[in-house]
Amino acid sequence: MNTNQVDTSLQAVVATYNGFLKHPEFKEIAEGSLQLIKESGFSKILVDTRQTRVIQKESQEWIDRDWFPRAIRAGVKQMAFLTPDDFFGKMSVEATNKQAVLVGEIDIQYFTSINAAKRWLLSKNGH
């Protein structure tokens, strides 16, 4: 199930991506995250990609060119990614964010443990 929800205890939006997503499905989840950021006023996103396979090139390019600039304007400051165990899935997630990491306006960290990701996000309250 692909979901977006607000976690008030984390003061973050939680986005869950599962399986191999076609670009329209991927885009819908990413747009939903951004909408909840705007509605909630939070600046953090926990992105659960543990069940993600490979992210399509079209989706990678769209996130880089279109979504990340809008996320910065919407006030996103931190993103914690729960990465897949699968090597190709992990590389795909990291490749998708490579340009945003270089730009450095959003603090992006990768985790294999949900508790570690949540601890990191909680440490960023008010930042």
Q: Tell me the domain boundaries of the chain.
A: 3-123
pLDDT, one tens digit per residue, over 27-72 is: 999 999 999 999 999 999 999 999 988 889 999 999 999 999 999 9
Mean pLDDT (the chain, rounded): 92
CATH number for the segment(s) 3-123: 3.30.750.24
Q: 55: helix, coil or strand?
A: coil
d(CA 84, CA 87): 7
d(CA 72, CA 68): 6
- pLDDT for 104 equals 87
Q: How far is CA 11 from the centre of its chain?
A: 15
pTM of the shown model = 0.93
- pLDDT for 126 equals 55
